[in-house]
Structure 1
Amino acid sequence: MPDRVVGDLAHEVRSKNAGPFWITMELFMRDADGYALVADDLFLNAGVIARLYDIPAEGIRFFRIPELNVVKISFPRPVSQGSTRDRDIHAGQHHVPLALLPLD
């Protein structure tokens, strides 16, 4: 495991439903320095999220809120909520790959 991961700089990293067809993940960073790192498009962008979640980069949306040191990321669910192939009906476990993303 890497020395430092995104979750080390955050108060909380969470994921949740954003309706039956979307997932939202939120990074609540501890301070402005941590926010500056994860809000930087060179570090965290649609390509990184697409790779982590094996989804198309198109349609991934970022919401950067510097006043709160928060980054929100939303993307279409691979399958609709509650469908036969849905493995996480509340999308509560989707944040784990993001929280474990190496910083170095």
Structure 2
Amino acid sequence: MKKVKITELAEVIRSKNSGPYELTLDIIFKNRKFFKLARHSGIFRKELYARLYNISVEQVLDLVEFEQANAIKATIVRPVVSGGQGETDVYGAQQHAPLLSIEVPIVT
């Protein structure tokens, strides 16, 4: 089965605060075709995010396919409270790196 790197399909891959206890992870695809390829691959499930971020499935709080924006968004529990002792990324803007390793299988 052919696989395509997420960086070839996505225009934006980012993370951001979703409050002091949560992070939102966004993948915004270059176009509707690439969004549909990703959606139909079946890999964008809570289990994927749990594995990438080494957290339990229960810590993946939400997963939304936002078709109007060609986006897939996930919200996860922050490992450390924003601004808390030991926090290294108060804004949550540097937490998207694990997403860059995703390879999307092309389902025909």
**TM-score clears 0.5:** yes
Distance 2:92 2:20 in 1: 10
Q: Compute the TM-score of the two structures, normalised by the length of structure 1.
A: 0.85
The 8 Å contact of residues 21 and 77 in structure 2, kept in 1 or not, is answered as: yes
1:14-61 CA-to-partner distances (Å, cap 9, x unmatched) read 110011001001111011221123334721111110010011111421
2:88 aligned partner: 87
1:36-89 CA-to-partner distances (Å, cap 9, x unmatched) read 233347211111100100111114211111122111111111111111122222
Distance 1:41 1:78 in 2: 28
Distance 1:86 1:39 in 2: 33
Larger relative strand fraction: 2
Tell me the number of residue pairs that the alignment of Structure 1 and Structure 2 aligns.
Answer: 102
Tell me which stretches of 4 or more aligned residues in structure 1 moved more than 4 Å: none
Identity %: 26
Distance 2:103 2:31 in 1: 18
Distance 1:59 1:102 in 2: 22
Larger relative helix fraction: 2
1:1-104 aligned within 5 A: 4-40=4-40, 42-60=42-60, 61-104=62-105
Q: Compute the TM-score of the two structures, normalised by the length of structure 2.
A: 0.83
